[in-house]
Chain A
Amino acid sequence: MASFIQLLVSGLATGAIYALIAVGFTLLWQTSQTINFAQGEFVMLPAFFVLAAMNAGASFWLAALIGIALSIVILGVLFKVIIIDPMLKYGVLPLVISTIALSLFLKESVKDFYSSQAQPFPALVPAIDIHVFDAVVSTQSLAVLAVAIVTVVALNLFLNKTRVGRQMQATAQNATLARILGVSVGRMALYTFLLNAVLVAIASILVTPIYLAKFTNGETLGMAAFIAAIIGGFNQVRGAILGGVILGVLDNLSAAYISSQYRGAFPLIILIIVILLRPQGLLGRIEERSV
């Protein structure tokens, strides 16, 4: 029972991180028809921004802010303006291919220009073990969980209670209708990219202490984001959160019971099962195209 609680807590923490990444991914798809195959690398990269800032002398918290700011500029604004906007007129396929190339580009750039070795990354809080009913839970997991929950709640408040947030949702559901109602669709799209940049930066800071900063982080994290988004239902933000949490918990539980050699296979098998049995995901609706 004790180990189950441990696994559950760490699973929720991982799941919360997956949820943040998956939500950003889903928002980009909903609002701008952008399937961002480089989402994993987007999570890998901000940690390196932080490390670089720290190498230049900044304290961890300052470096974290710098990392988030750089993320907003590069992964938000530049990504949209330089890569996405010129491609929209060609349709979804060239866009997906471009983000595939981007993921390769980012991964190799970090490998070649920073380091191919895993770098340690400072945790948010010192790792102390707390004892809860016999179970040993690390403060790190709790901190991650806390930050992730706060972020998700803040996100929900933003999307549902603020005018801009509601406009973003309207654009995501029906851009044409939103435009008729006076919403600046182009601006909403930009905000979505900025929002994604913030989410991936936060996720990066939360997850990198565990994984260490390595150029290959994007592979597993990206895959986790896609699977979480698909499990939840590709076009639902709530679904992305649910999918992320489910994936995190199942992943951690399975780690205890499946051989380490096939550790990475479990999420992939979940993906294949979901696609086979319920391709629209848990919360998604089967989409139709009218003419």
Chain B
Amino acid sequence: MTAVLEVSNLRKAFGGVVAVAGVSFEVRTGEILGIIGPNGSGKSTLFNCVLGQLQPSAGEVRIDGKLTTGMRPCDLNRLGVSRTFQLLQVFPQLSVRDNLILAGQEHQGSMASRLFGRADAGLGDAAGQMIEFFRLAHLADEPAGALSYGQQKLLDAAMAFMAGPRLVLLDEPAGGVNLTMLGNLRERLHAYHAERGATFVVIEHQMEFVMALCTRVLVLAEGRLIAEGAPQDIRRNPTVIEAYLGH
């Protein structure tokens, strides 16, 4: 199976502080890969380096074999890579529907065609479908800022999926979400994955969420990869347990 994402010897240092100390891994097509690790293990920094938010100090990132190290996030998105955010999520003043249209519009035609074309860039139906899929129909025309935190997380995921990405990176999607909403979110992610065959990479703290969702798990600690394997094995891995308890 081909690797959608290849990270080779990625390293990121901020002055004297080394956040990611040489990490390499592969993500195969159709996987749901989880990346876990205690606070400060470099998970978010790793993500940001892969996604062009930060420039790695060393190492390479390849998407479908194409070198993408340090590419701008908007260019990565055009290659079919999407992400959700831990903190910044939706556009509060736009309606839910407009948020979704925005999430897909940059993939419709050129900048010029978007100026003279339809106001919804032809995405009215697609947005409607996404709203249905994520069960947000009753909130479709509300400003996104009025939604509850959990609903915004759902919208965030929906936005990441609008452009039909092949690779989706989710940054702590479960953070701060109540149990009911969590189940809903996980179930929708599974459904999307089953339907579209996309590849997911998920950073998460919440063990249960990761174990239930992911097919393979990587464990990061102090900027290094310390373990890798199926969720059940990772749960019992002594190195992993020590990394978590030692903090």
Direct A/B contact, Cβ within 8 angstroms = yes
A289 to chain B: closest residue by CB: B53
- The reply to whether B88 and A288 contact each other, CB–CB distance below 8 Å, is no
Chain B residues whose C-beta falls within 8 Å of the C-beta of A290 in the assembled complex: 44-45, 48, 53-54
Chain B residues whose C-beta falls within 8 Å of the C-beta of A132 in the assembled complex: none
C-beta contact mask, A275-286 vs B, less than 8 Å → 1, else 0? Answer: 000000000001
- A181 interface residue (CB < 8 Å to B): no
Closest CB in chain B relative to A84 CB, distance in Å: 25
- B112 interface residue (CB < 8 Å to A): no
B19 to chain A: closest residue by CB: A290
Interface residues of A (CB under 8 A from B): 286, 288-291
Most buried by B among A286, A288, A289, A290: A290
C-beta contact mask, B207-237 vs A, less than 8 Å → 1, else 0? Answer: 0000000000000000000000000000000
How many angstroms between the C-alpha atoms of A288 and B171 in the bound complex?
19
How many angstroms between the C-alpha atoms of A291 and B171 in the bound complex?
10
> What are some 7 contacts across the A-B interface (CB < 8 A)?
A288-B53, A289-B53, A290-B44, A290-B48, A290-B54, A291-B85, A291-B87
C-beta contact mask, B130-156 vs A, less than 8 Å → 1, else 0? Answer: 000000000000000000000000000
Interface residues of B (CB under 8 A from A): 44-45, 48, 53-55, 85-88, 171
Chain A residues whose C-beta falls within 8 Å of the C-beta of B171 in the assembled complex: 291
Given contacts A290-B45, A291-B44, 16 further A-B contacts (CB under 8 A): A286-B55, A288-B53, A288-B54, A288-B55, A289-B53, A290-B44, A290-B48, A290-B53, A290-B54, A291-B48, A291-B53, A291-B85, A291-B86, A291-B87, A291-B88, A291-B171
Closest CB in chain A relative to B31 CB, distance in Å: 24
Chain A residues whose C-beta falls within 8 Å of the C-beta of B54 in the assembled complex: 288, 290
B12 to chain A: closest residue by CB: A290
How many angstroms between the C-alpha atoms of A286 and B70 in the bound complex?
13
Closest CB in chain B relative to A288 CB, distance in Å: 5
B48 to chain A: closest residue by CB: A290
How many angstroms between the C-alpha atoms of A21 and B58 in the bound complex?
38
How many angstroms between the C-alpha atoms of A291 and B53 in the bound complex?
8
Chain A residues whose C-beta falls within 8 Å of the C-beta of B48 in the assembled complex: 290-291
A177 to chain B: closest residue by CB: B17
Closest CB in chain A relative to B83 CB, distance in Å: 9
